[in-house]
Structure 1
Amino acid sequence: MKRTHLPLNGLRVLDAAARHLSFTRAADELAVTPAAVGQQIRALEDTLGVVLFRRTAKGLELTPEGAAGLDALRAGFLQFEDAVRAMQAGQSSKTLTIAAPRDLTAKWLSTRLAAYGRADPDLRFVLVAADDELDFTQANLDLAIRLVDGPGEHEGIALPADGFVIVGTDSGGEALIGWPGCPQSDGVAAPLTVADAGLAIDAAAAGFGRACVPALLAQADIASGRVRVYADEGQGPTYWLLAPLPQWRQKKVKELVAALLA
């Protein structure tokens, strides 16, 4: 019999009925009706081609064919329970693997993870760079942060943000620093092109020009006076916290998301 065709519900009913030698008591244990137990047993007998129980004057009796596989069946259920506990153990792990853009990690994420980690010294974080194509299974990711227009195929929630702003210093001039994801201003050549928005902010602070960047990324530099805001460019892509549904449901991921949104 193919593994995918194993009648697991029927085998679970067989185990309960064999232990109680009563369809009624088995039904109580399984929270179903005695008729449903009887139907499962008959269906299992049809599938296996054997008779599993007989009714006698003393009550329900397990046949030799039914008894033959019980030890292996019960050992199998114990292994199933071990497998479930092993899979659930990952939810109690204190290690969180997060994929995020390097500039977001440097400008925003690291300080928040440090604060969250101080609340629970057992927490451990693994930070990896967010690629265009995220494979949560292969990378063993718990959560990803992306600058996108929406969650796409994943579960997600947007980080609070105020769109894009243009930042710089009075000595840096008005030309926009280039970086992938932010268009150059029309007719003004970029004095410098860098790899990401975080480097664009640093370049603006150094006097190379101005940077059109996500407001979330520039918060700390604006607050410290390193750069100032020259214009509000309005809405654009937003940083989203993303994960497939199984990861999104994990307690540790829910708590991390709540901490990042606080």
Structure 2
Amino acid sequence: MKRTHLPLNGLRVLDAAARHLSFTRAADELAVTPAAVGQQIRALEDTLGVVLFRRTTRGLELTPEAEAGLIPLRDGFLQFEDAVRAMQAGQSSKSLTIAAPRDLTEKWLLPRLAAFAATDPEVRFVLLAADADGLDFAQANLDLAIRWGDGPGEHEGEAIESDGMVTVAVAGAPDTVIGWDGAEAHIRVADAGLAIDAAAAGLGRATVPQMLAERDIAAGRVVALGEAMPSRAGYWLVAPLPQWRQAKVKALVEVLAG
């Protein structure tokens, strides 16, 4: 059923003017001028097709039509306030749904989420194995996603600090190139994480994001062949503006980006 358009500003002014029985005091409450209150009331009367106030020798009086609507109007405002509190409570929850490539989650994200959660035992995570490209944030109920690319795409975003790309292998490995991002290669795998694992198995050498290889290099599974090289592409934390503004998302972005 089609909903009737509600003149909410006018109804809010009506509530204030009815409580004070004064356009001047209603204007003070609403931080507007008495003329603006009078204009809103006249517009509301035109919309509703009824007279709401009459001026008498004793001052401003409500008409029976206005009085008839005040109780359900105020009940409605209380329900609006309940709805706003419920929505704010949902946004202030400490549950975060994050979409990220599988290899990034395994080799980089999980330890950082564990450290973040250690600072607050109420934090909860839902992790999805997906890139941000093509994701419907509303349908997936996502708070944040991580994508590989040269920018945040259509969303708000911040780059994750990185040293760029590094080539990794094990001692004695052949010069076979292990590829994952569409570049020319002898062996092709699905993602950078598998490329690191293939290099650790001795299949060849792989050029991957340094931040993904960091733990494997530190553990001695692979060695870096030379210094990391800058790259135009990198990992980005992204979200639509409403999610990006959430305090819980801002806190997580601050931890992950640096």
Relative to the length of structure 1, the TM-score reads 0.93
How far residue 67 of structure 1 moved from its aligned partner, in angstroms, is: 1.1
After superposition, where does 1:76-225 map in structure 2 within 5 Å? 76-131=76-131, 132-179=133-180, 181-185=181-185, 190=186, 192-225=187-220
Letter in 1 for 2:192: A
Q: Could you tell me which residue of structure 2 aligns to residue 243 of structure 1?
A: 239
Q: Could you tell me which residue of structure 1 aligns to residue 225 of structure 2?
A: 230
Letter in 2 for 1:115: A
Question: Given that residues 182 and 212 in structure 1 are in contact (C-alpha distance below 8 angstroms), is that contact kept between their aligned partners in structure 2?
Answer: no
2-structure distance, mates of 1:11, 1:220? 61
2-structure distance, mates of 1:166, 1:79? 60
Runs of at least 5 residues in structure 1 that lack an aligned partner in the other structure: none
1-structure distance, mates of 2:41, 2:188? 71
1:255 aligns with 2:218: no
How far residue 129 of structure 1 moved from its aligned partner, in angstroms, is: 1.1
SS at match of 2:177: coil
RMSD value over aligned CA atoms? 1.6
2-structure distance, mates of 1:146, 1:176? 24
2-structure distance, mates of 1:96, 1:255? 11
SS at match of 1:147: strand
2-structure distance, mates of 1:37, 1:49? 18
Letter in 2 for 1:250: Q
How far residue 4 of structure 1 moved from its aligned partner, in angstroms, is: 6.2
Question: Given that residues 27 and 34 in structure 2 are in contact (C-alpha distance below 8 angstroms), is that contact kept between their aligned partners in structure 1?
Answer: yes
Question: Given that residues 53 and 61 in structure 1 are in contact (C-alpha distance below 8 angstroms), is that contact kept between their aligned partners in structure 2?
Answer: yes
Letter in 2 for 1:252: K
**Per-residue deviation, residues 22-80 of structure 1 (Å, max 9, x unmatched):** 11111111111111101100111111111100111111000011111111111111111
How far residue 233 of structure 1 moved from its aligned partner, in angstroms, is: 4.6
1-structure distance, mates of 2:151, 2:230? 17
SS at match of 2:137: coil
- Shift >6 Å, 4+ stretches: none
1-structure distance, mates of 2:3, 2:255? 42
Letter in 2 for 1:214: P
Matched pairs, number: 256
2-structure distance, mates of 1:49, 1:4? 15
Determine what percentage of the aligned residue pairs are the same residue: 73
